[in-house]
Structure 1
Amino acid sequence: GYYVTMIGDDDTIADGLFNLLNLMYKYDLDAIYSGFSTYYWPGIKLRFNNLNTQISIPKNKVTNQILDPQFLQSLCLRNGCTELGLLPRLYYGIIKRTCLIELKNAAGTFFPGPSPDMANAFSASFFIKKYWHISYPIFIAGNSPSSAAGLGLQGRHVGAIEKMNFISDYTKRNWNIFIPKFWSGETIWAQSVYEACLKSGFEKLFEKNNFLKLYAKCLVFHFSFRSLIFNSFKAYNRNSNIIGKIDNINKILFYIILFINKRAVYFFINRVKMLNPFAQKKQSNQSASFFSIHDAERLVSVNVSSNNNFFAVCER
């Protein structure tokens, strides 16, 4: 085949996928990412509300952007490799097979890191030239209680590296000393970018990573691992002079304030949604309860087919 995509066993794809493939073939695109809806499987329990058997569909105006994958890599590094951003990807995205072959020839694998989604997204971006982002969710991301996404939503996707049997010995031996050595979404994504750069022949690029932002986010969301976070910060700060060390501490404090404010806003918004019937009613236009993920798939497919000018907008 010409193109490759990937979803998890708790995900699905709505109608419209082959329309995207036709666009890719027509304009000789290397990759396309359309975003995704989110389906919450039964059993997901959150602090703010119960999202069992519910789908959330972003209500964005359909837009089409031509993006530079290498610029998106720099944004990822600027954020401490804690966010995928709009990087092209296999997971909920589509990549031309020839680009993936180039990646494998360079790195020896399609997934050069412990987190397949981040490792592939970052490393594939080295070999992708023509990339589109379309703001319509063809893919449906399923968050089940035992999945990585589901565990993350419940605050359970964290732990000691030594207890994670699914992490390869290679990753454990080659863990970057500047990355706090515990399992979390933030740390494993940063380590995945490190290994992706290392195996793809771009090791120097990882030196641009914003480790201070990584430390700040880890302190805010995973404070119980503060000793490991401080150990990595000490290693990062070792060769700085006194002014540089003070500057690094100030930057971490600044990022901590940003993350705390963001978390406080998120908490406030979700509390309002729980307590305010009007807010819940307003939200119901983009969220609904269903019995199964297949019902969710049909809803998204209906939304795609009802938007007759969707793919015409994509081509403009």
Structure 2
Amino acid sequence: MKNNFLLSVVIPTKNREKYASATVEQILNINDDRIQVVIQDNSDTRKLSNLLIKHDNNKRLKYNYTEGTISFVDNFNLAVSQADGEYLCIIGDDDGILPQIIDVVLWAKKNNVDAIKPGLNAVYFWPNSEALRGKKDDGYLSINQITTKAKICDPYYEVVKLLKQGGQNYLSLDMVKLYHGIVRRGCLQQIRETTGKYFGGLSPDIYISVALSLTVNKLVEIDFPLTISGICNKSGSSDSATGRHTGKLEDAPHFRGHKEYNWSELVPKFYSVDTIWADSALAAIKDLNKLDLIKYFNLEFLTINCLLKYPQFKDTIFLCYKSYSDKNYMVKVINSAKYTTFKINNIFKKVSRKIIRKRSDYYHINGIVNIIVANETLQKRLVVTGIDTNTMIKSLDTVINS
């Protein structure tokens, strides 16, 4: 059935068999032969393979096991290389998809749209996902307001914005997303032909987001959750919440499986979400030979951000900034003001989200035991709110024809 799939849902995984098997089950429960599921497994054991034996005869599932230590990035590269669909979507092994996703992919193909950026309106917290913070629960689903509003984006300009804010907060920008997004295979092939790989850097998410944003011709955003973002007690989100995403650069788990790696001279050499993002964004620009964009990278912005958030690494941060310290005082003042404005805007957004969660259009339900039930619950909520596929497609048609 190679090349007969319209969409490949690609899932790189390692040592999270319980969640990955449930995610596979949830997707295969969507009875649509146009959707392929690709599992790239680098677990320490073959436990996941055993859990998926019952699906051995299902042509929609492609499972590949790679033994030994490989990098996070290499696991993503292997995952995408296994996919057969015309369009690809990467999700985590604790996430899920909505059946409406195939209707949007069909629309994208019909209208020659390279990429779709859906809303992240639905988040599922697996049971005891916050146990590391002393909280225990039976799982819950949070759904933000869904408007189905659509717009055409300019991802190239968004990359420039990303660089001007020191490579930070890329998720808030209208860039192409392969992770929880939809992208035409041909765009990924263009990147591979130029760089020799699909993913580089240390963070595959932001690397491919930057690379695709500099590659696609047409990106459309729709305020509708085509995927469900899952959070479990083994996820990166939990690590961030407990401060385990900070430390010496040589201790970063991202380096596992890398024989050698050239860290950007523009980024302070310590391990944090902020520095990993900045370095991986710059790696994508370098690999694509878009070096003219480096001039937009705001090192002062990144420096101030890191000093405020990680004062324990101030010596490392100042060492990186030292070679740029001859810039005039006014430039520093301006960039400091820009950073202050940026932080105030972020605080405002966080407060706004908290206010939204108290409104009637924010939905929260407990007792959601797995991702399968999460999707079923979300589908019922869509019926109650009167949001259907026709509404979404009509919104997409309006923006593409305007």
Q: TM-score, normalised by structure 1?
A: 0.85
Contact 1:218 1:229 in 2 (8 A): yes
Determine the C-alpha separation between the residues in 2 that align with 1:51 and 1:86: 34
Equivalences for residues 1-316 of structure 1 within 5 A: 1-36=85-120, 37-41=122-126, 42-44=128-130, 53-84=139-170, 85-167=173-255, 173-238=261-326, 240=327, 244=328, 246-251=329-334, 253-255=336-338, 257-258=340-341, 261=344, 282=359, 285-289=362-366, 290-304=368-382, 306-308=386-388, 309-316=391-398
What SS is found at the alignment partner of 2:192?
Answer: helix
Q: CA deviation at 1:48?
A: 12
Deviations along 1:209-260, one digit per CA (max 9) or x if unpaired, are 122221222222222222222222223324x3xxx1x224424543564466
1:280/1:47 Cα in 2 relative to 1: closer, same or farther (>3 Å)? Answer: farther
1:229/1:14 Cα in 2 relative to 1: closer, same or farther (>3 Å)? Answer: same
Q: Which residue identity is paired with 1:3? A: Y
Contact 2:268 2:317 in 1 (8 A): yes
Partner of 1:276: none
Q: CA deviation at 1:159?
A: 1.6
Determine the C-alpha separation between the residues in 2 that align with 1:51 and 1:249: 47
Contact 2:177 2:209 in 1 (8 A): yes
What SS is found at the alignment partner of 2:240?
Answer: helix
* Structure showing greater relative contact order (alpha-carbon pairs closer than 8 Å, 6 or more residues apart): 1
What SS is found at the alignment partner of 2:271?
Answer: coil
Bigger mean CA offset, 127-136 vs 200-209: 200-209
Determine the C-alpha separation between the residues in 2 that align with 1:34 and 1:262: 23
Q: CA deviation at 1:80?
A: 1.3
What SS is found at the alignment partner of 2:255?
Answer: coil
Q: Which residue identity is paired with 1:225? A: F
1:6/1:268 Cα in 2 relative to 1: closer, same or farther (>3 Å)? Answer: closer
1:83/1:5 Cα in 2 relative to 1: closer, same or farther (>3 Å)? Answer: same
What SS is found at the alignment partner of 1:141?
Answer: strand
Determine the C-alpha separation between the residues in 2 that align with 1:111 and 1:222: 28
Identity of paired residues, percent?
A: 25
Determine the C-alpha separation between the residues in 1 that align with 2:259 and 2:210: 17
List gaps (5 residues or longer) in structure 2: 1-84
Determine the C-alpha separation between the residues in 2 that align with 1:263 and 1:195: 26
Q: CA deviation at 1:23?
A: 0.9
Q: C-alpha root-mean-square deviation of aligned residues, in Å?
A: 3.0
| Count of matched residue pairs | 305
Q: Which residue identity is paired with 2:296? A: K
